[in-house]
Structure 1
């Protein structure tokens, strides 16, 4: 789930029972013109604008895990490795990285460019919808698009089949399908479920996809939901692969964030990627703390400063109730660990040479208590490199120069938080620990690939 993080994490609760319903009536493929690549797809590239993500309206993990784990969708077993079918199109763009990975995508007919948070941890995509005379021009104006339509109350997605959701969808006064996202701070984002195209060129667009059209929200950027759910952009658009490359994060006071790359379809850099199979849980509906639609990695352990920490592998695997699941999430800034793993990391940091430099009594955002004053490169050198170990010898390596996040005021924190402080029982690998790394999601083969890169150069 998307969990971005500033000084206080504002979380919202997504209640959308429509996630459980079949989209079998919506079978489609991309339309495109003459092929310019061997796999009969078109290669497109678009620049993106840069913005800092101001309001933190990210999914509440605990609530979402409970709701999505109760879905009626049939579990899909792990398939045998096979050649991935070609995506119906080939699309490359770049994104700006501040605290969120922001992509700008052309939506509607004619297209209107919309900034969206790239989020592999959520399902429903949504955009801000207003008529231009009532709002800043960044939002989407449905009246200007000939392909836009709102779902009526009679649509199956507005007839939730699970009775224990709190206000998932409803009919508004105009008999249109309404949804609500509730924020923990008392605010909300709400609007209508709609159908709309993503229009990449005159000859290439998606069919109308289901997404949220928010008419009341506190942030002008939408969400590009890319998890395994049937309503995600990846699933509806029948994307076989997508990938992104997160550039090195710049300091909190930097005028411009780094620029990375985002691919829909084949990535020409994938030849050197190392792949690890996703964990599949057919019995996930009986695990209340499980998110069955997340990208769950088979994590094995953690090394710090060349030392293997004494954390049992079972800590990174879901137990009978689903606690301990390890997810990779582009929409979460920091990495979060369950207590048994977090405590071992903290023991290593505090008990090592960097312990004397610890900013005592300081807790960033209520979840991260390994923070320091002083030169981050020097302190990172005292901590050493960190390696997240996965199956098949695949590793996510974080060099000592990138161990600490600039949180402002001259304070730098280890980019790791305590999951229990969020009220969740899962491990989450956030985008802070995906810097200078290609991350590819190969959906037909249910695997994730990793490849080291200079992501700023990759975006050129």
Structure 2
């Protein structure tokens, strides 16, 4: 993930109130396992402790789902970020401290020596030859064990052993899964919520989704602290009229196309109901694969490539000019990607009710961002008279730089999002998460 972004983002923490079945994939001849609903609540967590593949954005903090799991034998409880944009799961493994000045490992880290079922992956294993990862595994010549390396938010790296152990949620049957047993992580915030690792949920062979044979999962991210829900398993829900858009996969391998991401086809953008004059070729991947559109729970805001971003900036600014003064500071770019910014008088909220909604149009579905999800207050930034600075929550991918459109978590609030790997599609439906959570509780 390239340059730092955002100083404080929400992290959604998952309680293990009910079990998650992670057995074999369902077949047409066998009844599907009953889906499990898990509650979500919002917490602040620094992402300095989270390794990030180079293909993902580097943030000070990050918005993602997290799940509480039991790993190893006897089970150790750990909290892991649920990331649909990453493949390899990893855990911060607790080892002997090398010196007294080294930071202590968090209480939520994993202790491999305490697990009877922990096993290092040997170099000759097929798991060690995976080419889906941004940085392929390597072989340690001395131990003949497989090694993995991850990139941190500040550009540093951490490496560790590729290993396997048993994973379980609640009282569901445990599943043996491969993961990176990382030696150290960075967390500069003394009051941040500790996370022991990351649960990779993309379509790669080493992702938890693939290893657990989970063919469908969905979530609703609430704008309230405690009303979100994650549903794991098949979920035909009659009160959610989902509109589906197919996952996009080019017929030939392309160098810059992430084939294991959840990629969809972006067909157009509307601002306040007005279609932007963006050629279809600008919204589609080019001959190299650059320009794909990814749905990523590990990124907060949405990023558009340069031409599309310029069209959005011009039209949004034009429609808001009568009531929302532009910042008019060409040198100001918030966190190196947000330069559509405005001044709001001190002590007043921005006029969110008057802001034109931004709709992303896909084949068969659309996503609308409206109201207070459109603007983000820049912390500590003031202008003459104490005016606050607020920026549009769509970033310029070219400034990052990033070669893809990325649909972030913040813009998925109060939207049911379903990942259906069985049928190769993503489903979307606007819904109040507290209502959906309540109705799901009656159904399951």
Written as runs of structure 1 = structure 2, the 5 A alignment for 1:396-435 is: 396-409=367-380, 410-435=388-413
Q: TM-score, normalised to structure 2's length?
A: 0.78
**Structure 1: distance between partners of 2:180 and 2:272:** 45
**1:199 to 1:44, Cα distance in 2 relative to 1, 3 A:** farther
Which residue in the other structure is 2:282 paired with?
315
Name the CA shift for 1:45/1:159 in 2 (closer, same or farther; >3 Å).
closer
* Contact 1:438–1:453 (CA under 8 A) maintained in structure 2: yes
CA 1:108–1:52 in structure 2 vs 1: closer, same or farther (change >3 Å)?
A: same
CA contact (8 A) 2:40 2:226 kept: no
**CA deviation map 1:155-181 (0-9, x unaligned):** 23335789xx87742316543221112
Counterpart mapping for 1:191-270 below 5 A: 191-202=160-171, 204-219=172-187, 220-221=194-195, 222-248=197-223, 257=225, 260-267=228-235, 269=237
Q: Give how far 1:431 is off.
A: 0.7
Match of residue 384, structure 1, among 323, 346, 356: 356
Aligned twin of 1:302: 269
Q: CA RMSD in A?
A: 3.5
What secondary structure does 1:413 align onto? strand
Structure 1: how far apart are the matches of 2:273 and 2:42? 39
Contact 2:69 2:170 in 1 (8 A): no
Equivalent pair of 1:107/1:198 in contact (CA under 8 Å) = yes
Maintained 8 Å contact 1:109/1:145:
yes
Deviation, structure 1 residue 193: 0.7
> What is the aligned partner in structure 1 of residue 46 from structure 2?
53
The question of whether the paired residues in 2 share the 8 Å contact of 1:2 and 1:330 is answered with no
Hey, what's the Cα distance between the residues in 2 that align with 1:39 and 1:157?
A: 28
Give the whole-Å Cα distance in 2 for the aligned partners of 1:131 and 1:294: 33
Q: How many Å separate the matches in 2 of 1:160 and 1:442?
A: 24
Structure 2 runs not aligned, ≥5 long: 10-21, 25-29, 98-103, 188-193, 381-387, 439-444
Which of 322, 329, 334 pairs up with 1:364? 334
- Cα distance change on mapping 1:273 and 1:317 into 2, 3 Å: same
Structure 2 residue 32 is the aligned partner of structure 1 residue 39? yes
Counterpart secondary structure, 1:349 = helix
Contact 2:53 2:151 in 1 (8 A): no
How far did 1:47 drift? Answer: 6.9
After superposition, give the CA deviation of every residue in 1:17-58 in whole Å (9 maximum; x if it has no partner).
xxxxxxxxxxxx728xxxxx9734474747778342342643
CA distance in 2, matches of 1:160, 1:98: 27
Match of 2:90? 126
| 8 Å CA contact 2:305, 2:396 repeated in 1 | yes
CA distance in 2, matches of 1:4, 1:269: 39
Aligned length: 393
- 1:449 partnered with 2:427: yes
Query: Does structure 1 conserve the Cα–Cα contact (< 8 Å) formed by 2:4 and 2:153?
Result: no
SS in 2 for 1:208: strand
1:1-40 equivalences under 5 Å are 5-7=5-7, 30=23, 39-40=32-33
Q: 1:111 aligns with which of 75, 86, 90?
A: 75
Inter-CA distance 380–3: structure 2 relative to 1 (3 Å threshold) = farther
Change (3 A) 1:336 1:457: same
The TM-score with structure 1 as length reference comes to: 0.76
Instruction: Classify the secondary structure of the residue corresponding to 2:122.
Output: coil
- The alpha-carbon deviation at position 124 of structure 1 amounts to 0.6
Q: Does 1:136 align with 2:114?
A: no
How many angstroms does 1:349 deviate by?
Answer: 2.2
Cα distance change on mapping 1:224 and 1:57 into 2, 3 Å:
same
CA distance in 1, matches of 2:86, 2:131: 21
Indicate the residue corresponding to 1:21 in structure 2. none
- Structure 1 segments, 4+ long, off by >6 Å, are 1-4, 46-49
Q: Report the Cα offset of residue 352 of structure 1.
A: 3.0
**Separation of aligned partners in 2, 1:353 and 1:42:** 44
CA distance in 2, matches of 1:127, 1:47: 21
| TM-superposed deviation, 1:2 | 11
